Structure 1
Amino acid sequence: MGIFTAASNVLEPDDTPMTVRAAIALINQVRAEISGEETTGYDRETQFCIDWFDEFGMDESTSGAAIGMAQAYDIGLDDLQKSGVVSAQAGKTRLLRRDELQSDWSPRADKRLTDWECVQHLARVMESPDGGMDAAARLYSEMGSERGEAARMLAYRLYDICERRDRAKEAQVWNMLAQEWPALDAALIRVEDESRRRSSENQGTLGDGLPGWDG
């Protein structure tokens, strides 16, 4: 949209002026194509969660609907429960809310780590009075570059879904996280620098205590 609005005139292939409606339609088409390509790069559980979130948001629906949706990714409802992304009880299924997630969760300790969990926990920590930027940065650091980048792209994707589905409250969460990502990157550098400094100091202290150490 920024490219379109910066130009004084946008032309169709036949050199006629492009209407605003046509420009928006083109933007939405490309965005949908990009979103589809992004989705295929996530783990299967996350792909399910994106589809469910698009269709139902954080609301529950029938477990039959969940099973049918999961089959598209060759996973079962039991796999989703073990991954810690859904609640399935009494024939109803829904995505777990952020306030239901483990407060001491660590991506390094999670044996069934998903991109969905990574972005949800980042949002949870950013929202929490006991969390904040540095706490989120420490979690971000544990995810590694690949999972961290997936979480970043997923935050944008979820905001886009909320905007399209008119889910204002949830959109605020993902808009906040997307806007804070540059600050999160800066905090990540600070946290990792501090971790390296402490590691270096600890090694120096250990070396000082070894017999025959002259350094």
Structure 2
Amino acid sequence: MKFTKVILIICVFALTAFTLKTDKKDGYKVGDKIEDFSLKNIDNKIVSLSDYSSAKGFIIIFTCNTCPYSVANEDRIISLDQKYKKAGFPVIAINPNDPVAVSGDSFEKMKVRADEKGFTFPYLFDDGQKVYPKFGATKTPHVYIVTKKDMKVQYIGAIDNSSRDEDSVTEKYVENAVDALLAGKKVEKTETRAIGCSIKVQ
């Protein structure tokens, strides 16, 4: 009987350890500290979060050229950058898609789209798809709000509660979160479900 209990305890411990290891593969959670990254911007310059010495935080958005949900949110992303960049929370957009899988998301076409829309923020290419898995991003668009002083994730999810129709928005998740952080308050809704296209891999 004692031997059976010992075996059971060992099995439970092993299962728990395995679960803890596999959970980390899902990417950053709210409260996690992120690693800085260095990615090429559409102006061919390398951009890192450490470049922003005066920033209070970042609105990091995984997006792309081709997803209808991303296209439907482009004006909202521009508005977020225009509203919060001067307050210390600039938008950092990252295209996570493999251009071999989706030719419309090539680096050259990123330049074209940014010019067409007049992007006011960096539009970075996740070459080799090394950054988005660390975040655990699964959709375009997928938002991560990070505070710079501790590099911790404060919010993960959607821009607002209307994935396609801006006129139907009744709750602005990202704006509410950034407003709270700027006011020194706790973010009330720290996570929502990102709705969009799956990130494309080769």
TM-score, normalised to structure 1, is 0.24
More strand by share: 2
Greater RCO, CA 8 A, separation 6+: 2
| Structure whose alpha-carbon radius of gyration is higher | 1
TM-score, normalised to structure 2, is 0.25
More helix by share: 1
